[in-house]
């Protein structure tokens, strides 16, 4: 297959591909990232697209190196509201792909320790998380634990009202604080745990981990055991639902600064020569965007609509997603 008709857009950068982001050295500090999200908000308010493209590149280069920092970016984007919507959506896409790694790694910066209740609640309720029920429970449990030691963003805990766009742009340059409200977090965590399907958690984990946590009532535990017993009595093999899903360390490329904003986002590797993502395109709400090698060159395109946006100029056949190539509008 080959790309079809030219599409709109100019510019665009791809911020490198890697797996889990296990390298936690030389990380950008959380305070710096929050300031950078504030710059994005200010750039949107004053329509400084050139500034925004450069700042977004810095933000997601940091996230690429250490994925748990996506929580810092997402929390600050949630606090800022609509002016930071795009940066928040990209950060959430990173969390969705590897929630266990991103949320449970709290010691090296970011992770659930960086989230306030609003951001944490949105993540837990998100239908795109690729993990099991027990993984979501452990993330909430870890979040409550770190809140007790003052690790949760207090701006979100305080429920700070969003300001009008202009005021947000000026205020967002000041980073959020980091002192916790344990009671607020505990209350929200209990509410979220009650929405989980606890019957999908193995009985031993329910008794050894879930029950001692204090996040689930005895009635909730009994209902989970009852559901499991009824399924077993009916002859169902319930052991398969207890398998703990482990996120594949899939390589990803974050596309930023495209002239057609629909192109921006997280592309996940399907094969050595192809990255893809789902997104809207005109009347199609579920179009497949490809960053793929066609012949000897790399393109960004939508095969189902015969639309080609960009062609890679740097490296072409040698590009492996680890550098940031230049792109030409096709």
Model pLDDT for residues 180-220, shown as the tens digit of each residue: 456 788 899 999 998 899 998 999 999 999 999 999 999 99
What's the rounded mean pLDDT across residues 129-134? 85
Q: Whose CA is closest to 173, among 45, 28, 44, 42? A: 42
Q: Average pLDDT over the chain, rounded to whole?
A: 78
Residue 165: what pLDDT? 42
Residue 21: what pLDDT? 53
Residue 207: what pLDDT? 94
pLDDT band for position 148 (50/70/90)?
low
Distance (Å, rounded) from C-alpha 203 to C-alpha 208? Answer: 9
Q: Is 121 helix (H, G, I), strand (E, B) or coil?
A: helix
Residue 276: what pLDDT? 92
Q: Residue 109 pLDDT more than 50?
A: yes
Domain boundaries, the chain: 5-10+251-329, 21-183
What's the rounded mean pLDDT across residues 110-118? 91
For CA atoms 81, 84, 86, 91, the dihedral sign is negative
Range picked from 64-68, 170-174, 217-221, 241-245 for highest mean pLDDT? 217-221
Residue pair 116/124 in contact (Cβ under 8 Å)? The answer is: no
pTM of the entire structure? 0.74
Q: Residue 257 pLDDT more than 80?
A: no
Q: Residue 154 pLDDT more than 80?
A: no
Tokens at residue 167, please? 């005021």
Q: 176: part of which helix (H) or strand (E)?
A: none
pLDDT, tens digit (0-9, with 9 covering 90-100), for 22-72:
454 445 689 999 999 999 999 989 988 888 888 998 998 899 889 999 999
Tokens at residue 71, please? 């929580």
């Amino acid at each position: 297959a080959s790309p079809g008709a030219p599409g709109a857009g100019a510019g665009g950068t791809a911020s490198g591909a890697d797996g889990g982001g296990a390298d936690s050295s030389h990380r950008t500090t959380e305070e710096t990232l929050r300031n950078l999200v504030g710059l994005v908000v200010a750039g949107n308010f004053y329509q400084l697209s050139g500034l925004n493209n450069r700042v977004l590149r810095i933000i997601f280069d940091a996230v690429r190196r250490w994925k748990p920092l996506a929580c810092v970016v997402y929390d600050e984007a949630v606090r800022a509201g609509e002016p930071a919507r795009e940066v928040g959506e990209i950060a959430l896409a990173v969390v969705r792909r590897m929630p266990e790694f991103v949320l449970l790694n709290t010691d090296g910066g970011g992770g659930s320790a960086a989230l306030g209740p609003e951001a944490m609640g949105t993540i837990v309720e998100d239908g795109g998380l690729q993990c099991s029920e027990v993984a979501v429970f452990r993330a909430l449990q870890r979040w409550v634990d770190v809140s007790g030691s003052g690790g949760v963003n207090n701006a979100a805990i305080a429920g700070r009202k969003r300001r009008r766009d202009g005021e947000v742009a000026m205020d967002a340059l000041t980073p959020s604080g980091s002192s916790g409200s344990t009671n607020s977090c505990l209350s929200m965590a209990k509410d979220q745990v009650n929405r989980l399907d606890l019957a999908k958690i193995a009985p031993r984990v329910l008794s050894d981990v879930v029950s001692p946590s204090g996040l689930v009532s005895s009635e909730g535990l009994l209902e989970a055991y009852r559901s499991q017993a009824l399924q077993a009595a009916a002859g169902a093999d319930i052991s398969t639902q207890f398998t703990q899903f482990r996120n594949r360390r899939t390589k990803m490329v974050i596309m930023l600064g495209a002239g057609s904003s629909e192109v921006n986002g997280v592309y996940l590797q399907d094969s050595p020569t192809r990255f893809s993502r789902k997104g809207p395109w005109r009347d199609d709400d579920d179009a497949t965007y490809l960053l793929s090698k066609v012949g000897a060159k790399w393109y960004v395109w939508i095969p189902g609509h015969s639309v080609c946006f960009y062609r890679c100029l740097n490296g072409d056949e040698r590009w492996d997603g680890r550098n940031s190539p230049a792109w030409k509008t096709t």
